[in-house]
């Protein structure tokens, strides 16, 4: 853990509400607790251990290496390490399973408010680089591989991509656009496949979608093969 910083916790008992953001990187809640990341466990009816909170300390609040500021998502990689989108510090951090800080993802393309992180079936780490309007892809060894997308509203373009996940069977990449109010689907190499949604309040419309999940990836596996 970095020195001279308050402790920072990862709770796996319950998930936090999505931050209400006007400009990504600033939140209505300035309390230190807003920096916490949480993920839901199974219910206590399914697992008697699930009723107990599990706390894992990840670095601390701040900007020095090993510290975090407004981290918006995290994922376990194939080594069991934890990849954290350290959003307001404009970087992606790697922590060991015991919570100790390891390193930062090194990219030739600087992150700007990265919000989403996922790991695909091959162990690649995929980052929604939100305010650079693109996605960056890294190898399981944390080496930069490629990026795709640029600012715009056309097919394969992004306006603040936020949530990201992958399809387990096909490795398709599913991206929600906070600024574009839609979802786009790409193949494993970043080639555009399809999109759905638009700004609005009618059935099928969206307003600033800010998350995605494995279940959405499973749906695409089942529906488009």
* Domains of the chain from N-terminus onward: 70-224 (2.120.10.30)
Give pLDDT, residue 9. 53
Q: Which helix (H) or strand (E) is 58 found in, with range?
A: strand 55-61
DSSP one-letter code for 166: E
172 closest CA partner among 157, 163, 185:
185
pTM of the model: 0.74
Q: pLDDT per residue over 159-183, tens digit each?
A: 999 999 998 888 899 999 988 889 9
Q: pLDDT per residue over 183-225, tens digit each?
A: 999 999 999 999 887 766 777 666 666 766 655 544 444 444 4
Q: Which helix (H) or strand (E) is 37 found in, with range?
A: strand 37-38
Contacts of 136 (CB under 8 A, 6+ apart): 107, 109, 111, 126, 127, 129, 144, 146, 147
Instruction: Write out the DSSP string of 93-151.
Output: EEE-TTS-EEEE-B-SS--SSEEEEEE-TT--EEEEEGGGTEEEEE-TTSBEEEEE--B
Q: What is the helix, strand, coil percentage profile of the chain, to 5? A: 10, 35, 50
Q: pLDDT per residue over 31-52, tens digit each?
A: 444 454 444 444 445 554 444 5
What's the chain's Rg over C-alpha atoms? 17
**Is the model's pLDDT at 22 over the cut of 50?**
no
């Amino acid at each position: 853990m970095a020195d001279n910083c308050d402790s920072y916790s990862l709770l796996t008992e319950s998930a936090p509400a999505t931050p209400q953001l006007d400009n990504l990187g600033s939140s209505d809640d300035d309390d230190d607790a807003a920096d916490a990341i949480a993920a839901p466990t199974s219910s206590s009816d399914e697992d008697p251990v699930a009723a107990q909170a599990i706390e894992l300390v990840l670095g601390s609040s701040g900007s020095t290496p090993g510290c975090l500021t407004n981290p918006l998502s995290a994922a376990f990689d194939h080594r069991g390490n934890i990849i954290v989108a350290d959003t307001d510090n404009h970087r992606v951090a790697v922590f060991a399973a015991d919570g100790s800080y390891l390193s930062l993802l090194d990219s030739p393309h600087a992150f700007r408010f990265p919000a989403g992180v996922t790991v695909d079936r091959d162990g690649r780490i995929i980052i929604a680089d939100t305010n650079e309007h693109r996605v960056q892809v890294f190898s399981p060894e944390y080496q930069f591989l490629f990026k795709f997308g640029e600012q715009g509203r056309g097919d394969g373009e992004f306006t603040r991509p936020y949530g990201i996940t992958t399809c387990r069977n096909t490795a398709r990449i599913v991206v929600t656009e906070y600024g574009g109010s839609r979802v786009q689907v790409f193949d494993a190499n970043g080639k555009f496949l399809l999109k759905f949604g638009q700004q609005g309040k009618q059935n099928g419309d969206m307003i600033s979608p800010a998350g995605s999940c494995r279940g959405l990836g499973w749906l695409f596996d089942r529906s488009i093969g």
